[in-house]
Amino acid sequence: MNYFKSAAQEIYDEAKKDGRLIEGLTLEELKQLALRQEGVIQTQIGSIAADSEPMSRAAPHTKNSVDHEFGEEEEALAKQAVEILGKENIISLETVVGDGREGITARFIIPQKYAHLAYGLKLLLDCPSAKIVEDPTYTIIFFTDMAFEYNKSKRLIDKDISIRLMMGEKRGDQVKICRNSTYLGEGKKGVFQFEDWRVKAIDKTGIFLHAGARRDFLWVYDQETERPELKEIRTAISGLTATGKTTTLCRRLARMPKESWEMIGDDGGTVGFDGSYCAFELCGLYVKTENLDESQPEILRAAQSKDAFLENVAISKYPYMPDFNDLSKTGNGRAVITRKNLEIASEGLRGRKIDYIIILTRNPLTNVICKLTLEQATMQFIYGESIESTGGDPEQAGKFKRVFFLDPFVTGDHLEHAMIFYDILKQNNIKCYLANTGTIGEPEQEVSLRQSLSAYNDLLRGQLRFSVDTDHLGYHYPIKCDRANMDLMNAYHLFDDKVLLEKKVKNFLNGRQQFLEEFEEKYGRIPEHIRESLPYEYKKTPPMERVEAE
């Protein structure tokens, strides 16, 4: 029995019968309702600002019904939600998921005192007009109890929080209960995780990637016509939170006459078996505001709009202006910004076959950009090498970590997930690359945004050449470029102390081998041609030469 689904229906029906249900509100009506609640302010520019508790996802307190056994604890949680929400006025916010063509909808059940959550989620996922859905695909419930106030003085790991997701076997079974979290990201990522599961396990239409996508129209030299041609290029960018996905997706590469570019989606989307891409957030983006400034002009303008919802952002005393450089509250300040305020946002959420996938990492041993075979790309996603951020676990922010497919929300058999992805790559001949957006070399120096964008520009225009041989981590390294600074492209050449480099590579590969062993013990052995495509044991490699492409 799906007691989460039964609880969700009971909460909704009883509130409606008792006259405690608030539903069918427009975006503006939700905004005005939110402003009447304690702790919610309107900034001088007209946007809404509020703080959440906790100020990040509650990852240590989260379980799902596929990877964890649900029992008495979860049943008691559902009953508690019914009991507590049975005494409160509640908002029922109904939204579409994606552009609506798949028939997926979501209902958020939220106490009236947290109306700012409903406003932010509608701003992100739905159009401004009112909407009521009879039978939602996904339901996400927020409620708080006596422990909520006490949690504010505790570390995240010590907080009394319960986040549970019932994944279900068919559409409509999916219910998430969030106890003692008012973080908007729990609502967004609830939809994200349910989409991840639906696409792979229920509808079986492809795979859901933690990736945004962009569409560029660029002049590219055509070898057949022997002249530049204006080509449409679709690129997916995948990475953990705070590794530069949104920044990469929202920056201009088009500079020449008739060239243009647009962002399709910024944080997650379905990659179909035909290689197509579809984002899931209809109206907005949920972006980090940490040190947001003129170096990201499009995002800054949208975050300073009256339409934005600001979460955990420092606000000055009167006249109440946001300060994105003040990180005294948290490094995980957030803003929901609207696509209509982003000139670069595409009209639709879909793109035809993806041409390129760029995987973002942060690792000083890694080149600014590397070329991957399809097998290497699959293994790179399995290893999921990156860093922790304030959006995941603030206490571990900045530390190296491995997260399967750079997606902490993947549910079920991970090997099956990887093989679906590999098949999509093969069927559609999608070219894959690994990009380092952190630091490089020793002493570590930052990979500048300008250097990264120059490398991507060279790549999409066919002006980036890679080695035949592989480097110390098994990647094909860049040997010729046009816009990027070649002297700062390869990690090997930025380690003057090769003994230190060897030591760091050994440690890195030891960690990779341990991860691989644990993965295969749980999910089974990876096919050999994929497994061996990237090294996991140290082998001394010959010195890399600064070889120019012929």
SS3 544: coil
Q: What is the rounded distance in angstroms from the CA atom of residue 182 to the CA atom of residue 143?
A: 8
Q: What is the rounded distance in angstroms from the CA atom of residue 500 to the CA atom of residue 307?
A: 51
Is residue 195 within 8 A of residue 96, CB to CB? The reply is no
The enclosing H or E element of 507 equals helix 498-523
The DSSP bridge pattern shows strands 105-111 and 206-209 to be unpaired
pLDDT in tens, 387-428: 875 556 666 667 889 999 999 999 999 999 999 999 999 999
- The answer for residues whose C-beta is within 8 angstroms of residue 364's C-beta and 6 or more apart is 436, 438, 439, 440, 441, 442, 444, 491
pLDDT in tens, 95-148: 999 999 999 999 999 999 999 999 999 999 998 888 888 899 999 999 999 999
Q: What is the rounded distance in angstroms from the CA atom of residue 441 to the CA atom of residue 439?
A: 7
Per-residue buried b or exposed e for 94-109, using 16+ beta carbons within 10 Å of the residue's own CB:
bbbbbeeebebbbbbb
Query: What is the pLDDT at residue 546?
Result: 53
Is residue 189 within 8 A of residue 395, CB to CB? The reply is no
Is residue 506 within 8 A of residue 538, CB to CB? The reply is yes
First-to-final CA distance of the chain: 66
Give which of 545, 509, 481 is closest to 365, Cα–Cα: 509
Domain 3-204 has CATH 3.40.1390.10: no
**Domain boundaries, given as residue ranges, for the chain:** 3-204, 208-281+349-500
Query: What is the pLDDT at residue 132?
Result: 86
Q: What is the rounded distance in angstroms from the CA atom of residue 205 to the CA atom of residue 102?
A: 11
Locus of tokens 């422990």: 147
pLDDT in tens, 473-501: 999 999 999 999 999 999 999 999 999 99
Query: What is the pLDDT at residue 348?
Result: 94
- The CATH classification of domain 208-281+349-500, taken from the options 3.90.228.20, 3.30.420.40, 3.90.550.10, 3.90.1150.220: 3.90.228.20
Task: Tell me if 3-204 shares its fold with 208-281+349-500.
Answer: no
Query: What is the pLDDT at residue 128?
Result: 83
Q: What is the rounded distance in angstroms from the CA atom of residue 341 to the CA atom of residue 129?
A: 17
Partnered with residue 108 across adjacent β-strands are 93, 140
CB atoms near residue 515 (< 10 Å): 17
251 dihedral zone (left: phi>0; alpha: psi -120 to 50; beta): beta
Is residue 357 within 8 A of residue 433, CB to CB? The reply is yes
Give which of 385, 421, 378 is closest to 529, Cα–Cα: 378
Query: What is the pLDDT at residue 396?
Result: 67
* Tokens linked to 543: 């010195």
Query: What is the pLDDT at residue 1?
Result: 66
Does the pTM surpass 0.85? The reply is yes
Per-residue buried b or exposed e for 437-463, using 16+ beta carbons within 10 Å of the residue's own CB:
bbbbbbeeeebeeebbbbbbbbbbbee
Q: What is the rounded distance in angstroms from the CA atom of residue 303 to the CA atom of residue 250?
A: 14
Q: Which residues of the chain have pLDDT under 50?
A: 548-550
Is residue 367 within 8 A of residue 475, CB to CB? The reply is yes
